[in-house]
Amino acid sequence: MKPLKEVDIFVFSCYNLSMLDKILGSETAMKIMFHLIHYGEIYPSAVAKDYKISLSAVQKQFARFEEAGILVSKLVGKTRVYLFNRKSPTVRPFIDLIKVYYDGLSLDDKEKIFSTRRRPRRPGKPVIRKGNVLED
């Protein structure tokens, strides 16, 4: 078997993301799931801003996930924040499925997608960990 070239890996990655897109029903749903895996909890305007997509489309997808029981929401001030419904027995395997695709993203892709910090960090703490070397 011949080794995979960089182009082959890119095509494989796109194919897998396309598969996840089809499983979830839309690209917006896939993007929301990646944000939830990465940040733990998220609000619709952050997803819309990060991906430069319509806030109403994002809000509708969050409502679908909440209606299906995959997500729950809470109010933090005036902001509705969404997180996975840990009480549902079907959500854990669902999260594991999404993590397979999330873990398949390259570090560069993750840096591009999740470049905005959602929480403060202590001064001097490295932003990204690459291999065994910490970089700012």
Report the pLDDT value the prediction gives residue 16, as an integer from 0 to 100.
59
The domain locations on the chain are 27-115
User: How far is Cα 54 from Cα 36, in angstroms, rounded to an integer?
Assistant: 18
Instruction: Tell me the average pLDDT across 34-42.
Output: 90
Decide if pLDDT at 59 tops 70: yes
Does this model's pTM top 0.75? no
DSSP string covering 52-117:
T--HHHHHHHHHHHHHHTSEEEEEETTEEEEEE-TTSTTHHHHHHHHHHHHHTS-HHHHHHHT-S-
Strands 128-130 and 41-42: unpaired
Instruction: Tell me the average pLDDT across 51-66.
Output: 92
Report the pLDDT value the prediction gives residue 80, as an integer from 0 to 100.
92
Report angle CA 96, 54, 25 to the nearest 5 degrees.
40
CATH code for the domain defined by 27-115: 1.10.10.10
User: How far is Cα 120 from Cα 95, in angstroms, rounded to an integer?
Assistant: 26
Confidence of residue 9 (pLDDT cuts 50, 70, 90): very low
Decide if pLDDT at 60 tops 50: yes
Decide if pLDDT at 10 tops 90: no
Confidence of residue 107 (pLDDT cuts 50, 70, 90): confident
Instruction: Tell me the average pLDDT across 35-49.
Output: 90
Residue with tokens 């080794």: 3
User: How far is Cα 33 from Cα 65, in angstroms, rounded to an integer?
Assistant: 10
